[in-house]
Amino acid sequence: MNSLFCWLVLVYHNFNLTMSKSKLFTGQPIFSQVLSYVPRTNIFALADEYGTDAYYKYFKTYEHLVTLLYGIFNRCNGLREVVTGIQAWEKRIQHLGILYQPRRTTLADANQNRPSEIFEKIYYDLYTRYSHFLPDSRNKKKGRKLYIVDSTTISLFQEILKSAGRSPVNGKRKGGIKVHTLIDSDHDVPCLVRMSAAASADVAFLKKINLQKGSVIVMDRGYAHGYEHLNRFNDEGIIWVSRLRGNSVYENLHENEIRDYQREKGVIQDQNILMGHNHHTKNKKLSARLITFKDAETGHIFEFISNGMKLTATQIATYYKRR
């Protein structure tokens, strides 16, 4: 839902830049102006298609959507705060078609029972409708389509998720939810979002990613040990770039030549390697490039891995820097 709101703000900003001042929504709250880009008829059609209003007499999908977006817009910390604020805003947003202001229990029940997939469909519907309003300066650059993978953990009190996560030695349970996101770098908006337990491994998210041949996907080292998924990317013609994990086992197969201009930019070493151990014949292995790079500004040493055999070492480092 945060992704949906950020998307709407981007559309609102870039659409207004393309319009004359006489067409701006003067006198209306910014929240109302942002919501004006959410066509109610489309929401009603999607709700009918997926049956998300079938058992709701008053608190329909559209009211639910606006209520959640309001909570994000005003940084509410609880359901009571959301509900109280919506009631206070009744006169200011009644023209948006909010026919019912929910009670706290109504909102809680809707959050639990209404399928989250409907909001995913709404997001992609708006993405299709407004993608041409986003900045296109980077789209004009020649090169491969770049995607970025990352995750963030939403920590919750142990009382809320008592069984979430494993109990480490220090007794602090890693409870909460981990949000995995695939971001379209050209538009700076998510194109795939999935949630998992906070203690779960990041690598499981890779199996949900399907990209076009020739795309580039950049990820942090938390995803770098998913050899099965990275080998699938190899077979599908997708270039991936990540960082080497500290406990990785690999064999140096070949030292690649480093030209002078690459050394000047910070490339220290360029190797072809085979990742994986020999403990069992069924263990997955992965062929990759290992680039050792020194950042000129900070002096830090980075070890990048990639399947981009035809890329230069500096190109691989640049792709990760864009992440």
Is 278 contained in some domain? Answer: yes
pLDDT band at 273 (very low <50, low <70, confident <90, very high): very high
Q: Of 80, 104, 133, which residue sits at a domain end?
A: 133
* Predicted pLDDT at 2: 53
Residue 284's domain is classified under what CATH number?
A: 3.90.350.10
- pTM for this predicted structure: 0.67
Report the pLDDT value the prediction gives residue 136, as an integer from 0 to 100: 55
Which residues is 197 bridged to in the sheet? 177
Same domain, yes or no: 71 and 156: no
Count of domains observed in the chain: 2
pLDDT for 114 beyond 70: yes
Task: Collect all residues with Cβ–Cβ distance below 8 Å to 280 and sequence separation of at least 6.
Answer: none
**What's the confidence (pLDDT) of residue 157?**
52
Please give the sequence-ordered ranges of beta strands (E in DSSP) within the chain, or none if there are none.
146-155, 176-184, 189-197, 216-218, 239-243, 250-255, 267-275, 286-294, 301-306
Q: What is the mean pLDDT of the chain?
A: 79
Q: For 60-106, how does the pLDDT look when each residue is reduced to its tens digit (9 = 90+)? A: 898 898 888 888 888 888 888 888 887 777 666 666 667 777 888 98
> Which has the closest alpha carbon to 172: 194, 182, 157?
157
Residue 238 tokens read as 């997708």
Q: Does 140 fall in a domain?
A: no
pLDDT band at residue 172 using 50, 70 and 90 as cut-offs: low
Domain-embedded: residue 69: yes
My answer on whether 283 and 150 are in the same domain is yes
The residue among 71, 99, 133 that closes a domain is 133
Q: Which of 105, 133, 161 is the last residue of a domain?
A: 133
In a domain, 141, yes or no: no
Complete edge-to-edge strand list for the sheet that includes strand 267-275: 189-197, 176-184, 146-155, 216-218, 239-243, 301-306, 286-294, 267-275, 250-255
Q: Tell whether 160 and 106 lie within a shared domain.
A: no
- Is residue 171 scored above 80 in pLDDT? no
Is residue 96, in this structure, part of any structural domain at all? yes
Range(s) of the domain holding residue 26: 2-133
Band (pLDDT 50/70/90 cuts) for residue 17 is: very low
Percent with pLDDT over 70 in the chain = 77
